[in-house]
């Protein structure tokens, strides 16, 4: 049996850079019927080190023609339906092409297990018409899947509402010149979810990601108005590690946005997990502290809201990361949905205040 294996990143895109890793099989193994999730062996959760190598791998496994995408999705649903360890099937994706969606939803309709479908910014009614639970956010997806796994029917879901007291307090700190949201995301799907949540409340909204209704950035290196940047997009990863592995590219952009006197809120995700940066707080907090201090001397308050995406089982230590970000003045939320709702509410209050 070979001693080493290779696994790809979690992002369903094509990247150039060290978004892949080679691992020793005495520490890790594959899990999962279809995803081949790389998981540390019991007792080996912390007994390993990571190293950067000069090896460059071009992974095109997700760059498939539509016909192959249809067949792969149908195959995956079939395999999961046959898997005795799978109680609930969850599909998360951007809305596929029309013919692919038709085939996928037909397979969902014929599936005997509960299926939760989140086509980000997709047609929820179409999904429901094929017998699946249609979710709008990752938090809703998780809660619905857990309910089904426990043999229950998912309860009616209400999108997260912002804490009014917290929103009012943060709004009061903003200077008149501060009026724009600047989103800095590593996770492409999280970026898309945020755009879906903000598109009705912030207009115009610019991004290098997104869908119809989101205005394309003229230059992804320069923000304009309300703007969300997917730092994990291909233009940021050519010849450079993904920002979830090496945060330096996002730290540089955070400094750029923090020094813009029109920036009111910086909204971001912080990703925890194996093969990601071992200590994102250590990489980002020094710049956050410096820029918050700089803004204060200029008569501004720098509001930074973060979705800390992880669990207590992640090697970075969720609670330790949370405490360090909060100590630096970052508002840490438990979900991207809650973080986006808070950002939107603060800006709505600010707009109301400015017109009075």
Tens of pLDDT, residue by residue over 303-331, are: 999 999 999 989 999 999 999 999 999 99
For the segment 54-79, the average pLDDT, to the nearest whole number, is 72
Question: With 0-12 CB in 10 A as exposed, 13-18 as middle and 19+ as buried, what is 170?
Answer: buried
The reported pLDDT for the residue numbered 185 is 97
Distance (Å, whole) CA 206 – CA 216: 6
273 or 33: which leads in pLDDT = 273
For the segment 72-101, the average pLDDT, to the nearest whole number, is 88
Nearest-5° Cα angle at 271, 38 to 61: 45
Q: Is 36 left (phi over 0), alpha (psi -120 to 50) or beta?
A: left
The encoded tokens of residue 157 equal: 């879901």
- As a whole number, the mean pLDDT across the chain is 87
In the predicted model, is pLDDT for residue 18 greater than 50?
no
For the segment 61-79, the average pLDDT, to the nearest whole number, is 75
For the segment 218-223, the average pLDDT, to the nearest whole number, is 96
The reported pLDDT for the residue numbered 2 is 36
In the predicted model, is pLDDT for residue 132 greater than 80?
yes
If one counts every other C-beta atom within 10 angstroms of the C-beta of residue 32, the result is 13
Residues 6+ apart with CB under 8 A from 159: 136, 137, 140, 197, 337, 341
The reported pLDDT for the residue numbered 261 is 97
3-state class of 306 per DSSP? Answer: strand
pLDDT digits (tens, 9 = 90+) for 182-220: 999 999 999 999 999 999 899 999 999 978 889 999 999
In the predicted model, is pLDDT for residue 15 greater than 50?
no
Write the CA distances from 311 to 53, 239, 273, 324, 336, integer angstroms.
28, 30, 8, 16, 14
For the segment 263-283, the average pLDDT, to the nearest whole number, is 95
Q: Which band of pLDDT confidence, cut at 50, 70 and 90, is reported for residue 7? A: very low
Winning range, highest mean pLDDT, from 57-61, 65-69, 198-202: 198-202
């Amino acid at each position: 049996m070979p001693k080493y294996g290779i696994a790809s990143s979690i992002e369903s895109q094509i990247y150039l850079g060290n978004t892949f890793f080679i691992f020793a099989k005495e520490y890790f193994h594959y899990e999962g019927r279809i995803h081949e999730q790389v998981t540390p062996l019991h007792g080996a959760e912390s007994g390993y080190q990571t190293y950067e190598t000069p090896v460059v791998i071009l992974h095109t496994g997700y760059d498939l023609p539509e016909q192959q995408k249809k067949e792969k999705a149908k195959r995956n649903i079939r395999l999961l339906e046959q898997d005795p360890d799978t109680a609930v099937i969850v599909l998360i994706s951007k809305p596929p092409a029309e013919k692919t969606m038709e085939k996928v939803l037909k397979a969902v309709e014929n599936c005997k297990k509960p299926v939760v479908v989140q086509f980000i910014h997709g047609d929820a009614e179409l999904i429901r018409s094929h017998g699946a639970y249609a979710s709008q956010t990752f938090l809703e997806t998780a809660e619905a899947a857990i309910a089904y796994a426990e043999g229950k029917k998912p309860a009616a879901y209400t999108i997260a509402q912002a804490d009014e007291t917290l929103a009012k307090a943060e709004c009061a700190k903003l200077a008149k010149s501060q009026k724009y949201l600047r989103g800095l995301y590593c996770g492409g799907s999280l970026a898309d979810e945020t755009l879906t949540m903000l598109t009705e409340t912030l207009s115009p909204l610019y991004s290098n990601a997104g869908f119809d209704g989101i205005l394309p950035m003229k230059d992804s290196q320069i923000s304009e108005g309300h703007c969300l940047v997917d730092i994990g997009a291909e233009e940021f990863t050519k010849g450079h590690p993904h920002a979830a592995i090496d945060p330096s590219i996002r730290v540089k952009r955070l400094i750029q946005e923090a020094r813009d006197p029109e920036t009111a809120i910086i909204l971001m995700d912080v990703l925890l997990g194996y093969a990601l940066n071992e200590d994102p707080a250590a990489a980002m907090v020094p710049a956050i502290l410096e820029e918050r201090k700089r803004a204060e001397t200029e008569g501004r308050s720098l509001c930074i809201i973060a979705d800390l995406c992880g669990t207590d089982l992640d090697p970075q230590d969720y609670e330790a990361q949370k405490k360090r970000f909060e100590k630096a003045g970052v508002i840490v939320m438990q979900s991207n949905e809650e973080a986006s709702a808070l950002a939107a509410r603060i800006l709505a209050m600010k707009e109301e205040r400015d017109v009075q």
